[in-house]
Amino acid sequence: MNEAKTKHDWSLDEIEALFNLPFNDLMFQAQTVHRQQFDPNKVQVSTLLSVKTGACSEDCGYCSQSAKNATDLEKEKLLPLDEVKRAATDAKEKGATRFCMGAAWRNPTDKNLERVVEMIRAVHDMGMETCVTLGMLTESQAQSLKDAGLDYYNHNLDTSPEFYGNVVTTRTYQDRLDTLARVRDRGINVCSGGILGMGESRRDRASMLRELSNLPKHPESVPINMLVQVEGTPLYGVEELDPFEFIRTIAVTRILMPQSYVRLSAGRTEMSDEMQALCFMAGANSMFYGERLLTTENPNADADRQLFDRLGLNFETSQELQATEKECDSKKKVRMEIEFG
């Protein structure tokens, strides 16, 4: 399959049919698609830093950082630039190619955005890809981020439109789609995915993936998070998702969005090595690397290196990343020529 054949009109029935395949058939199909697009033994790694922590006005039911959730998280104001630079230097030395900065905001104020812009410029100058996740954006804020040289903006749909109201009430699904469109329109790469294990049904998982895969252009990165259950949040204690269902969702994501990086995101600390290996086999080719996500734990770097050694996996280097991006661009050019002559 090449990009010319990438579908953007998936129906819910078609996606559910993929979910319903026998596990081996689904894995085979996902791995076949994966190998047509990517080196199956390379994984892109990003490191996260929470640059502003807690006291968020939103009511996301999964989140440790909502002021409405009674968690024992320590709040922190926007970090000074030199602290961000130190963390980015450390991440680069450990092999991360992308540095992702997250802030617990409903949306940034223009003043705060200026400070984040300085952070983006500094990390960019260190030779790393930059990603930020700051909540909702206006058009002019998206433009400021583009002007700062931002590579990726992360903004998740989180779940299906149908299940969404059970999880968040302070912003709408449409708000999220609007922010994604503003980011896309400004020419910033889109990183958007969701969370599994919040009590949603298989149909909800299929519906979330339909939203993502039917966007006019697929997100370049699709993070699939397993809910990290945080004490004090409304979703604490929800029934855990069957690991095979998580792996199936990764496989379906890979089939629906063949050219996207599919990120095995939050929740790896609770996953066995075998489960992670199956996620990579299902087509995940990106992950968060480093001891912390935003406010919760991630496996330590040594454990990840050992796992990679046992599986014969390698980190994708910056040079390889650029080569993959160039290759994607030339495939895009061919597609444009086919579509528009």
Q: Going by DSSP bridges, is the β-strand pair 98-103/42-52 parallel, antiparallel, or unpaired?
A: parallel
The site for ligand SF4 (CB under 6 A) is made up of 56, 58, 60, 63, 65-66, 104, 106, 135
In sequence order, which ranges of 167-242 are alpha helices (DSSP H)? 173-185, 202-213
Cβ at position 55, least distance to ligand SAM in Å: 11
Q: Tokens 């959730």 identify what position?
A: 69
Is 63 known as a binding-site position? yes
> Quick check: 225 and 195 in contact, CB under 8 A?
yes
Q: Which is nearer to ligand DTB, 72 or 329 (CB)?
A: 72
Q: Which of 98, 100, 176, 182 is catalytic?
A: 100
Is 328 known as a binding-site position? no
301 phi and psi angles, rounded to 5 deg: -60, -35
Q: How far apart are the first and last CA of the chain?
A: 20
Q: Which is nearer to ligand DTB, 27 or 45 (CB)?
A: 45
**Whether residue 279 lies in the annotated active site:** no
In sequence order, which ranges of the chain are alpha helices (DSSP H)? 12-19, 23-37, 81-93, 110-125, 139-147, 173-185, 202-213, 243-256, 273-281, 301-311, 318-340
**Whether residue 100 lies in the annotated active site:** yes
How many helices (DSSP H) and strands (DSSP E) are in the chain?
11, 10
**Whether residue 328 lies in the annotated active site:** no
* One-letter amino acid of 35: R
Q: Which helix (H) or strand (E) holds 216?
A: none
Contacting ligand DTB within 155-214 (CB under 6 A)? 156, 193
Q: Which is nearer to ligand DTB, 108 or 223 (CB)?
A: 223
Per-residue binding string, ligand SAM, 20-59, x by CB under 6 A, is: ----------------------------------------
Q: Which letter, b or e, does each residue of 179-202 get, where b requires 16 or more Cβ atoms within 10 Å of its Cβ?
A: bbebbbebebbbbbbbbbbbebee
Is 263 known as a binding-site position? yes
Q: Which of 63, 210, 268, 279 is catalytic?
A: 63
Sequence ranges of the binding site for [2Fe-2S] cluster: 100, 131, 191, 263
Q: What is the contact surface with ligand DTB in residues (CB under 6 A)?
A: 48, 64, 102, 133, 154, 156, 193, 223, 225, 228, 265-266, 293-296
Please identify every residue annotated as catalytic.
56, 60, 63, 100, 131, 191, 263
Site residues (CB under 6 A) for ligand SAM? 62-63, 102, 104-105, 133, 135, 155-156, 158, 195, 225, 227-228, 230, 266, 294
